[in-house]
Chain A
Amino acid sequence: MLRLSLPISTRLSPSPREKQDDASPGGLPYAHSSPLAGKPRLPSLLLPGLMPRHVAVIMDGNARWALRRGLPPSAGHEAGVRSLRHLLHLCSHWGIPVLTVFAFSSDNWYRPKAEVDFLMSLFERVIRTELDNFARDGVKICVIGDSSKLPSSLQKAIAYAEESTIRNSRVQLIVAISYSGKYDIVQSCRSIAQKVKDGVLQVEDIDEKLVEQELETSCSKYPYPDLLIRTSGELRVSNFLLWQLAYAELFFAQALWPDFGEAELVEALVSYQQRHRRYGTRSS
């Protein structure tokens, strides 16, 4: 396949984890050994005062990771869960208060039924089994997206997890399931339209601040990501957090999601800390 050269800011060497295919026992290679052991120290490359407050991740590449290893897509998704667990652990110890992950897009409903059913049961299993880890790491979980399409058992698991972790304050994990940026904006508009119809608001009151308050990310103290990371080399945002990404720094990693680990996160954070954010104004 022709190897195309990306701009330097997005060009990354292949993850060293791609070379660890045969590393683990049990025939299922995975990228992270004991990811939750101890408290990971912030690497000296990173400045504590310049850490992003909100990191968003498009976790792309599970199926390709599995295909390369001759495994079914389900193995890729399981490996992806381990990556997420590791990333969450790092965020909670490196002072990143909000992590949003794109777990399942509105478009993903069109995937084969078997894969969709597997993902729904995977989400439910992970949410239930991770509650102790959430308590230990101070994780508050929120799920955004159109929950009406989710199986009722998953809806119940989500509600229980959100309620159980509501007082946790070290890191907020926002999981986007059955979500799209356009859906979020439309539901915000519907909510505003209802308030106008009910006489709570006037049409003239509709402004950017009002829209922001009605978006699903208003569950967070920092609703707008400072940094968006997309794995697997695809250079697009795929209908994720469209409104909220207005000023986010974008980082495109070549690594497939199951191979995204501490080294790749450090690379993304170093890139973020070197950027000069102007928000349309001038620095001098």
Chain B
Amino acid sequence: MNVDGTSYDQGLYGSLCESMRKCIFKVLSVGPIPVHVAFIMDGNRRYAMKHRLSEGDGHKAGFMNLCHILRHCYDMGVKYVTVYAFSIDNFKRRPEEVQGLMELMVESITKLLEAESIVEKYGIRLYFIGNLKLLHKDVRETAEKAMKVTADNKRVVLLVCVAYTSWDEMANSMDKSCEEKLDEVRKGGGIQGNGEVIPRGVRVEDIERNMYMSVAPEPDVMIRTSGETRLSNFLLWQTGKTALHCPRALWPDLGLWDVVWGVVNYQRSYSYLRDQLHK
């Protein structure tokens, strides 16, 4: 697989596969296509063990497959893709593995910014979402550079959650919301009531506005690979109404059919959810 998301085989077989892929997307487009798909990319290490590779090679295979999956999503009509690349909990792993992952992140982000990469081909705007202060300096700087370089891309969006947990995101948002309320009190702002100004309480909108993920709508579909069915502190606030899909495939093995199935399940439950919301 290439960093632009295409596979090596571009001959007759490749052309047939591409035609079939376009046909599948055409059929899917009869129903609602999710605007935002989120992925928990689980299984790189188990993939490496299965294929007798080093742990680092398992993560590299995961990165290559990410480009492949992004291509499927964007070609299908998905506008936002969010991936859970590195949790704050992952810092508890062995220092060698954490260091290896930090180095891979720098390498991967650099590759994404190269000419003819998938970022350029699809006009992807990159966001790195999380408590970036926790990252190693070189990773943080590379991520910030990538966000700056792609800031004018408008076609599609990739949000990469690094040094992220939902708890950290929500606590950070509450911190900011409380600061705002305190400022409001200091300036005498609030709601007029009974002859005095009452500070307006924190609302859902205040918390949402201060979330790291406020740059994107809530996901329509969340896909977690490797067969585990848990959220692992990922987008807890944002996935209250998201359709979940948990294929058994390990992340580097996730393919077109798994993504299609996730979208089909979303379309199947779409009318039920719409009816529930309108009741």
Contact = CB atoms under 8 A, between A and B. Distances in A.
A2 B45 CA distance: 36
B94 A282 contact: yes
A150 B278 CA distance: 21
Nearest to B180: A193
A47 interface: no
B212 to A, nearest CB: 15
A246 interface: yes
Interface in B244-279: 244-248, 261, 264-265, 268-269, 272-273, 276-279
A234 B246 contact: no
Given A10-B246, A206-B171, A243-B167, A250 B201 contact: no
A70 interface: no
Contacts of B167: 208, 211, 243, 246
A247 B234 CA distance: 9
Interface stretch (B1-9, B67-75, B104-112, B235-243): B235-243
B87 interface: yes
B202 A186 contact: yes
A8 B248 contact: yes
A67 interface: no
Interface stretch (B121-129, B134-142, B152-160, B222-230): B222-230
B227 A7 contact: yes
Contacts of A206: 171, 174-175, 178
Nearest to B201: A190
B202 A4 contact: no
Interface in B86-109: 87-90, 92-94, 97
A242 B227 CA distance: 21
A242 B240 contact: yes
A248 B265 contact: no
Given A280-B89, A280-B90, A280-B92, A246 B171 contact: no
Contacts of B201: 190, 193
Contacts of A282: 45, 93-94, 97
A250 B248 contact: no
A203 B175 contact: yes
Contact of B247 (A7, A180, A190): A7
A106 to B, nearest CB: 11
Contacts of A249: 229-230
Interface in B191-228: 199, 201-204, 207, 227-228
A165 B199 CA distance: 37
B244 to A, nearest CB: 4
B65 interface: no
Contacts of B229: 7, 9-10, 249-252
A280 B230 CA distance: 11
Interface in A178-237: 180-182, 185-186, 188-190, 192-193, 196-197, 203, 206-208, 210-211, 234-237
Contacts of B21: none
Interface stretch (A19-27, A36-44, A107-115): A107-115
Interface string A11-38: 0000000000000000000000000000
Contacts of A196: 178, 181-182
Given A9-B229, A186-B202, A281-B92, A235 B269 contact: yes
A181 B240 contact: yes
Nearest to A214: B174
A188 B243 CA distance: 26
B185 interface: yes
A225 to B, nearest CB: 11
B236 A243 contact: yes
A238 interface: yes
A239 interface: yes
A245 interface: yes
Interface string A243-284: 101111111100000000000000000000001010111100
Contact of B178 (A9, A110, A192, A281): A192
B192 to A, nearest CB: 18
B242 A236 contact: yes
Given A107-B276, A245-B231, A189 B202 contact: yes
Given A193-B177, A197-B181, A250-B229, 16 more contacts: A112-B279, A185-B207, A186-B203, A186-B207, A197-B182, A206-B174, A211-B170, A234-B269, A234-B272, A236-B242, A236-B273, A246-B167, A248-B230, A251-B229, A281-B89, A282-B45
Interface of B: 45, 87-90, 92-94, 97, 165-168, 170-171, 174-175, 177-179, 181-182, 185, 199, 201-204, 207, 227-233, 236-237, 239-248, 261, 264-265, 268-269, 272-273, 276-279
22 contacts: A6-B265, A7-B246, A9-B227, A9-B246, A180-B240, A181-B240, A182-B207, A192-B174, A196-B178, A203-B175, A203-B178, A206-B178, A207-B171, A211-B167, A234-B272, A236-B244, A242-B236, A242-B240, A243-B166, A250-B230, A250-B231, A279-B89
